[in-house]
Amino acid sequence: MVSASMEYNFCVGHSTGKSSMPRKKKDQIPRLLVPPKATLRQIYAKYRQEFTAADLQQYTELEDGVPIEHIVAELEAIQRRETRKRKKA
């Protein structure tokens, strides 16, 4: 049987300032804070003002991707497999 003091200690552990919820991770996308009821023109002006060269570089960097030959080979394999399934049915 669990004593009342053990249950109380368990509950106290949650109220010591430690949250049972994980902390929110910082998002890679910066949030644009605009005043309520801002017009579209005001929102775009604020965005242009806060847009930096680092933001632009993020969109202009080339990333190593998957070669197209690999993707085409996978798609052809899937198509062959699905075609066989349809012929059997």
Give the ranges where the chain is alpha helix by DSSP (H). 4-14, 40-50, 53-60, 68-88
Pairwise pLDDT comparison (4 vs 59), residue with the higher score: 59
- What's the pLDDT tens digit per position in 16-75? 556 677 777 766 777 888 889 999 999 999 989 988 888 888 888 887 888 999 999 999
Tell me what pLDDT residue 78 has: 96
pTM (global) more than 0.75 = no
Given a cut of 50, whether residue 13 has pLDDT beyond it is no
CA distance 10 to 89: 59
pLDDT at 89 over 80: no
Q: What is the rounded CA–CA span in Å between residue 11 and residue 20?
A: 12
